[in-house]
Structure 1
Amino acid sequence: MEMPSLYGRVLPSPPAVDFNSAEGKRLFSEALQGGTMEGFFSLISYFQTQSEPAFCGLASLSVVLNALAIDPGSRWKGPWRWFDESMLDCCEPLDKVKAQGITFGKVACLAHCSGANVQSFRANRATIHDFRRHLIRCASSQDCHLIASYHREPFKQTGTGHFSPIGGYHAGQDMALILDVARFKYPPHWVPLSLLWEAMNTTDESTGLHRGFMLISRHTAAPSLLYTVSCGNESWKSIAKYCVEDLPNLLKAESPDDVPTLLSHLIESLPANAGALIKWVVEVRRKEEGRPTLSKEEKERLFLKENVLQQVRDTKLFYEVHGQQYAKSCCSCSSSSEEDSLTRIAAAVCCQGVAMLSGNLASRDGLCCRETCIRCIQANGDGLKTVISGTVVSEGNEQAVDMLLPISSPYTSSCNSTVSDEIVNYPSNTDVLTVLLLSLHPNTWLGIKDEKLKAEFQALVSTDNLPDVLKQEIVHLRRQLVYLCKAEEAGSHVPPSH
C-alpha cells in the first residue's frame, strides 16, 4: 500500500517547548543573557535539514563540521570545499546508512576522519552531571559543539533513535535546545535536561550499546601532516584486524631473540594490502598556467612536511627498519626495490590528488593517469621544489593537477638536467612502516616473551623522546586506529596514548 504523505507532526508539548513559541523565545532570550547560547549562532548559520530520513547522524555532523570551519580538503561541487552528507561515506557506505541509519560509534569515527577533535561519551559511562558540565562548556563558546544520540520516545515523539546538535542551554530551567535536523518533522525545541539524559540513556538495539553524546571541536594544529589512516574502502579492515588482534598473537607465538629478527617477522607477516590503512597526505593545487612559483601557504606546508619526514628518518626505528632491506612494500605503490620508481609514484599520487580535488566525482578504481611528468619550480627564495603534474581521466572527465613534493637527500630527482643535483624526497616504504609501528598501541608489544628484547623494542617504538610535531602526528594516527578498530566499543573519550 502507498504510504500517506505527511506535512510535519505536532510537537508534543509538554514536555518540549517549541523554539518559535512565546515561551521558547523567552527561554532563548534569558539563555542568551546568561551566556549559554554562544554556540547557537555558528550552528544556526550552517544548519540544514537531513536529506534522507535516515541521515540524521550525517546531517548533524555536517552542520557541526561546517560551523567549526573545518576544511574537508575535497570539493563538494564546482570549486567549493564544503561538508555535505554525501561526502561522509568513509566509515559506512551511504547506501547502508540510507537503509539502516548509522550508529553512535560510526558518527564519532566519521567526525574523527573528517579532521575534528572528538570526545564521545556513552550514557552508561558518564553521569547527568558530566553531561550538564560539557553542555554548558559547549553552549558558552563557538569552539565546541555537542551532538546528542537519543531515543524520541521519552519526548512522546514518533520515531526511534535520532541524532541532533544541541544549540544551547537555559541554566535557570535546566533545559537544552535541540536543533532537530529532521525539520520536516519537528521544529527546534527546548526539553528538560533530565529528560534528554533519559532519552540518551537508552540502548541501540542494532549494537546492544548505549547512546550518548559527543563533543566535537577543531584541532589546534593540522592533525595529519604526512600520513592519515584511511577507511575509504573495505580493505583497511583486514589491516586493522592484523594490527589489533593478529600481531599481538604473533608476538606471543614467536620467540625472536633480537630486534632484527623481530622486525623480520613483523615485515614478513604484513598483509599484502597494508598500504590501504596508512595513506600519504598529499598537497594538491590546481594546474595553472603562468604560476610557476609556490604560494606562501604551499611553502609553509611543504616546509612542515619536510621537517616531519626528516624526523621520521632520524628515529632509531627507521634505521632498524631500513636495515632489513626487504622488498615487501607496505604502501599501495608496490615495487621490487626499497625506493619506488618516480614514474609509479607520480601516477599513483596524481590519482590520489584528483580524487581529493574531485570529491565523489571520480571513482578511485576508475582513474587513469596520463601525461604525468616531474618538474622543479622555484619556491620564492626557498630553492627548488618538486611538482608532479598530470592529467587524470575518470569516466570521460579530465582533471589536471599539480602535486607538491618535499625535497631532501635520499633519492635522485628526475627533473630536467639543469637541476639534476636536486633530490626528490617522497615518503618511502620504510617511512610508512616506521610510522605504522610507532602508531600501534604500546600494549601491542606486551606479548614479546623475552623481557630484555621487550624492553629494547618498547624503547624503539616509544614516542616519549620524539620531537613534538612528530609525536602529535603519531598520537593522532594512534587515536584514528582506535576509532576505526573499535568504533562501536569506544564508549568514552579516547585519550592520547603516550
Structure 2
Amino acid sequence: MTESTKPKRRIGRILLMVTGAFVAILIGLFAYASIALKPKVYDVVSIKEATSYQDPALLEQAWALPVAATYQQDALIYQPRVSWCGPTSVANVQVSVGVDPQAAPDKVLEGTGYCRLGECIPGLTLDELAEIAEQKLDGREVTVLRDLSLDEFREHMRHANDPDRRYIINFLRGPLFREGGGHHSPIGGYLEQQDLVFVLDVNESYAPWLVETERLHAAIDTVDSSTDKKRGLLLIQ
C-alpha cells in the first residue's frame, strides 16, 4: 500500500462504520417503537380460542386443497425480519407458481428500491407489495382488491382454490387476535363447507391457521394509517 492510498482507505473504513452505526440506530429505534408503542386491544375473542383455528384434521384437509398443495408445507418460508412479511409472502408465491424454487425474501427485494436499510419501515403497503409482485412474478397480472363487501370477499375466497390464481392478503391482526398490527400472508385456500379461509401466516410464531370468512373480512376492512386506504388482497393470475 502506498502512502497516497492510506488516507483513502481510512476514509472508506470510517464511512463504512458510520453507515453501519446509522443502520443499527434505525433498527434499534424501530425495535424500541414496536415494544414501547402498545397496540390497540380489540374487544373481541381471539380466533386462537376457536376449535377450528389449528385443528389437525382441518389443517390436513386444508393442505390437501389444490392451491395449498403447491406451497411447501414442510418448508414454508417464514419472515426472517419483523417487517418482511410482504416480500416473504411474494417469495412463497414464487415457489407455489414455479417461478423460483429457491425463492427468498431478500431475493424478492433485490432491485426493487424498497427496504434498503434492511427493514421495511414502517412496513410495505398493499400497493407497494403489488408493485414488487409485478416485478418478481414473471409477468403475471397483479390486481389490488380493496373495499370489498363480505359477499364479494367470500366469492374471492371460493376462487382461492383455483390453481390459476394466488392471493396475498393484507390484514390487521387486532380484529382477529385482539391486538397486533398490519400483516401480509398468502391465502392457501378455502374450506367452503366450513366457511373457513386457510391463511399461510409467514410469521413462524403463528404458523398457518384457519379462520371464519367473516372474521377475516373484518380484519381487511380496516384502514392502513400510512395510506388512509383500506387493506385488502392481491390477486395474482
TM superposition score normalised by structure 2: 0.71
Report the equivalent of 2:124.
102
Report the equivalent of 1:118.
142
Contact 2:47 2:53 (8 Å CA) reproduced: no
For these two proteins, the number of residue pairs brought into alignment is: 190
Pick closer, same or farther for the CA change 1:160–1:136 going to 2, 3 Å.
same
Query: Structure 2 matches for 1:367-446, cutoff 5 A?
Result: none
Alignment partner of 1:47 is 2:67: no
Shift of residue 49 of structure 1?
0.8
Alignment partner of 1:26 is 2:57: yes
Contact 2:62 2:188 (8 Å CA) reproduced: no
Deviations 1:390-431 (A, max 9, x none): xxxxxxxxxxxxxxxxxxxxxxxxxxxxxxxxxxxxxxxxxx
**Bigger CA radius of gyration:** 1
Taking the aligned partners of 1:109 and 1:97, their CA distance within structure 2 comes to 18
Report the equivalent of 1:382.
none
Which residue of 177, 191, 201 maps to 2:221?
Answer: 201
Taking the aligned partners of 1:136 and 1:150, their CA distance within structure 2 comes to 18
Shift of residue 212 of structure 1?
0.1
Deviations 1:189-231 (A, max 9, x none): 11110010000010000111110011123xxxxxxxxxxxxxx
Contact 1:18 1:188 (8 Å CA) reproduced: no
Taking the aligned partners of 2:208 and 2:219, their CA distance within structure 1 comes to 16
AA of the residue aligned to 1:27: L
Q: 1:207 is paired with a residue of what secondary structure?
A: coil
Taking the aligned partners of 2:90 and 2:178, their CA distance within structure 1 comes to 22
Q: 1:181 is paired with a residue of what secondary structure?
A: coil
Which residue of 184, 189, 201 maps to 1:168?
Answer: 189
Query: Structure 2 matches for 1:351-362, cutoff 5 A?
Result: none
Pick closer, same or farther for the CA change 1:131–1:120 going to 2, 3 Å.
same
Percent of aligned positions with the same letter in both sequences? 25
Contact 1:55 1:101 (8 Å CA) reproduced: yes
Contact 1:64 1:216 (8 Å CA) reproduced: no
Deviations 1:59-96 (A, max 9, x none): 0111001211125xxxxxxxxx8432112331523427
Q: Identify unmatched segments of 5+ residues in structure 1.
A: 4-10, 72-80, 218-498
Pick closer, same or farther for the CA change 1:47–1:157 going to 2, 3 Å.
farther
Report the equivalent of 2:96.
67
Which residue of 213, 216, 221 maps to 2:236?
Answer: 216
AA of the residue aligned to 2:201: D
Q: Identify unmatched segments of 5+ residues in structure 2.
A: 1-30, 33-45
AA of the residue aligned to 1:102: L
Alignment partner of 1:131 is 2:160: no
Query: Structure 2 matches for 1:179-328, cutoff 5 A?
Result: 179-183=200-204, 185-217=205-237
Taking the aligned partners of 2:187 and 2:107, their CA distance within structure 1 comes to 22
Report the equivalent of 2:115.
93
AA of the residue aligned to 1:151: L
Pick closer, same or farther for the CA change 1:164–1:61 going to 2, 3 Å.
same
- Structure with higher RCO (Cα < 8 A, 6+ apart): 2
Report the equivalent of 2:11.
none
Pick closer, same or farther for the CA change 1:110–1:91 going to 2, 3 Å.
farther
